[in-house]
A and B are shown apart, each in its own frame.
Chain A
Amino acid sequence: MKLIAAMSGGVDSAVAAARAVEAGHDVIGVHLALSSNPQKYRSGARGCCTIEDSHDARRAADVIGIPFYIWDMAEEFHDGVVEDFLSEYAAGRTPNPCLRCNEKIKFAAVLDRARAMGFDGVVTGHYARTEIGPHGKTLHRAVDHSKDQSYVLSVLTIEQINGAIFPLGDTTKVDIRKEAEERGLAVAQKPDSHDICFVPSGDNAGWLRDRLGSEVGPIVDQDGTKIGEHKGAYTYTIGQRKGLGLTVPTADGSPRFVLKIEPVTNTVVVGSREELAISLMKGERPVWCGPAVDSEHKRGFVQVRAHGAALPCTYYFNDTLLVAELDEPLLGLATGQAMVIYDGDRVVGSATICETA
């Protein structure tokens, strides 16, 4: 096949590209320039698409022996990922920008462009697997569960999965680094990136404050009694316990947690640990990574964070929303996050959480 390998300048995408070449594909390396004002150097585990990263990607492509180009996707990234991130926070939800990037950039803008140019698909260094089965090509967890990235890929439609190649899904990260070393790739020991790539300082709250302002608002308990003040409701996360700055203790001295963020009134609602517990979630804008989910109640697992646990549940689609009923209650779940349904290690689909109970 003729493939575009998305090369970030990190070890994973470099090995993925090398493996695709070895599998006999005709591969071209592409580095996505996602920031319109790239920084010169990468600082630790933060940030990406610095000039240094694009050099690393180019060097890896040269060592592998494939052509290499840089694609400017800064505008698409800003509109589709950064703006979305901001507006979700402004609406009191907690978005996952990596998921949005896969949905709108890597497997949309890039894949569409690649296909128009006559390529068959996009290779990335994501830790996930695909299988060809009775339902066509399906998306599965990586063998290395600690690195599994199927969660952030759960927004891919069947059409997008058909154009995606994940050569690393069968290997552990440790072995990928070893393999990179053996292949003579200088990025073999480059640190993993963790934080949000477009917040190079790593200070998410500060970054949000700079852009959304820091309007002071009340912190209230479940009865609506004001017990404190905050500086910008969106910098809080559901389930957050630390950093609330509350001086009025609870009657029994038990800690308080953020239960809800109400953007319209700029209010943060806090309560006890018990009040955080939810056993039902509903998600909007579902995407099916295989056969569509219907009203039939099925047993499976739901995952609500990129590296969270797979929680046993019963799931179904009620015509507008994807519903998951948990076997065991879960503490602290923010709307805006993705609920991803698994059937064993197969990704069934995902939706954006809009309601919990």
Chain B
Amino acid sequence: MSGIYLDHAATTPMLENAIAAMDAQLRTLGNPSSLHTQGRHTRKDVEDAREILAKELDCLASEIIFTASGTEANNTAIKGIYWQQKALGKNVVVISAIEHHATLDPAQWLAEHEGAEVIYAPVTKDGVVDLVFLRNLVAKRGSEIALISIMHANNETGAIQPIAEIVKIAGNIAVHTDAAQSFKKIPLSFKSLGVMALSISAHKIGGPLGIGVLVLRRGVEIPALLHGGGQEREIRSGTLNAPAIVALATAAQDKSYDATAIAKIRDDFAARVTQVVPGSFVNAINAERLPGIVNVTFPGTQSDTLLLLMDGEKVSCSTGSACSAGVHRPSHVLMAMGHDEISAMSSLRFSFGRTSTQADCDGALAVLPSVITRGRAASGV
């Protein structure tokens, strides 16, 4: 499949050595929970991988809980911590207004089914959580707060969130952070952040689909979502997916992600896009951002039309979010940053990764003006 792939934040090519590690593990017989030779062998591979990941995440090996996705890690943390705290009489869940659906939806589910009150922390026009709001909230209602869950970096704009500050503000309140976008892109340390829980996903870093990690502070016991063999601290059951776990650890050790080089291509793209498309602007431009993400608003267009036209020019990028029926919706992230509905539906996310080149940037910029012209014509009819 040829073409220019500028959607690395959705998923990024799997690393060759991760594929090789997965392939080898797929050929190895053994359920890591079995007590015999084969089981022990696979168990060792899984535990080696756990230790590698612990090192990369700066946490204890025993703090790693393997899940089937970043979404599952978020659900396990948010629901589990909520239930644990609910038993102590706390029912307020604080999230930011720019969370991914894998955080938004479990929080909303808790509100609808489990008596939670969800409070959405607003963000600045550059898409960074408003710390003054959080400070006031904690001062006023701290004793009622079960959990604060705020992402480490935003998936649509790349804006990095001040998690260490938030942990300070939170004091004794449990903090969870979704670090799916930031792991391996910027420095990430579970220990220094001081959060109680953190989620990552393998396929965002060149690992396989279908494997995620919840890092949960040692000693914290929360109710499980999945009950069964109790494999992961009795918090997550299910036979451990050894091939995916081993491949994730391999990807986590990879050093080929050159953040400086990727940021340079991204910055070049951002600078030139506003030149070739007058009127366009970069969102969250004043925020500290992940190296690979740029979100651009093209006034007078509809982003689903732009995506179709870009796809037709063999350039893959992304709109904000879509509902379950696949219908394009205004991005809640951009809305939270002050966009109106129309403007929030006129933006595209371009995300660069390990395999991105200057030629990708140039190629995308070459087709953009004609795409925008046709896109504007189509939204005018």
Residues of A at the B interface (CB closer than 8 Å) are 28, 31, 33, 38, 51, 54, 58, 67, 69-72, 74, 109, 112-113, 115-118
Beyond A69-B304, A69-B308, A71-B304, whether A117 also contacts B324 by CB under 8 A is: no
Nearest CB of A to B324, in Å: 6
Q: Once the chains bind, are B308 and A112 in contact (CB under 8 Å)? A: no
Q: Once the chains bind, are B325 and A117 in contact (CB under 8 Å)? A: no
Q: Once the chains bind, are A70 and B327 in contact (CB under 8 Å)? A: yes
In the complex, B378 has a CB within 8 A of chain A:
yes
A345 to B135, CA, bound (A): 75
Q: Chain B 290-321, CB within 8 Å of chain A: the 1/0 string?
A: 00000000000000110111011000000000
A67 to B381, CA, bound (A): 23
Q: Once the chains bind, are B326 and A117 in contact (CB under 8 Å)? A: no
Q: Once the chains bind, are A117 and B377 in contact (CB under 8 Å)? A: yes
A118 to B309, CA, bound (A): 9
In the complex, B328 has a CB within 8 A of chain A:
yes
Nearest CB of A to B325, in Å: 5
27 contacting pairs across A/B (C-beta < 8 A): A28-B308, A28-B312, A33-B325, A33-B327, A51-B324, A54-B325, A54-B326, A67-B308, A67-B311, A69-B307, A69-B308, A70-B304, A70-B325, A70-B326, A70-B328, A71-B304, A72-B327, A74-B327, A115-B381, A116-B374, A116-B378, A116-B380, A117-B305, A117-B308, A117-B374, A117-B375, A118-B309
Q: Chain B 350-378, CB within 8 Å of chain A: the 1/0 string?
A: 00000000000000000000000011011
A76 to B304, CA, bound (A): 16
Nearest CB of B to A70, in Å: 4
Q: Which residues on the A side are within 8 Å of B375 (C-beta)?
A: 117
Q: Once the chains bind, are A112 and B325 in contact (CB under 8 Å)? A: no
Taking chain A's interface residues, is the majority helix, strand, or loop, or is none over half, making it mixed?
Answer: mixed
Contact of A118 among B326, B374, B381 (CB under 8 A): B374
Beyond A67-B311, A69-B308, A71-B304, whether A113 also contacts B378 by CB under 8 A is: yes
Q: Which residues on the A side are within 8 Å of B307 (C-beta)?
A: 69
A331 to B58, CA, bound (A): 84
Nearest CB of B to A32, in Å: 10
Q: Chain B 178-206, CB within 8 Å of chain A: the 1/0 string?
A: 00000000000000000000000000000
Q: Once the chains bind, are B309 and A117 in contact (CB under 8 Å)? A: yes
CB-nearest residue of chain A to B311: A67
Nearest CB of A to B201, in Å: 24
A252 to B328, CA, bound (A): 63
A38 to B324, CA, bound (A): 10
Q: Given contacts A72-B328, A117-B375, could you give 6 more A-B pairs where the C-beta distance is less than 8 Å? A: A28-B308, A28-B312, A33-B327, A67-B312, A72-B304, A118-B309
Q: Which residues on the B side are within 8 Å of A54 (C-beta)?
A: 325-326
CB-nearest residue of chain A to B308: A69
- In chain B, residues 199-218, which have Cβ atoms closer than 8 Å to a Cβ of chain A? none
A54 to B324, CA, bound (A): 10
Return the 10 tightest CB-CB contacts between A and B, nearest first.
Answer: A116-B377, A116-B378, A112-B381, A70-B326, A72-B327, A117-B378, A33-B327, A38-B325, A113-B378, A51-B325
Nearest CB of B to A114, in Å: 8
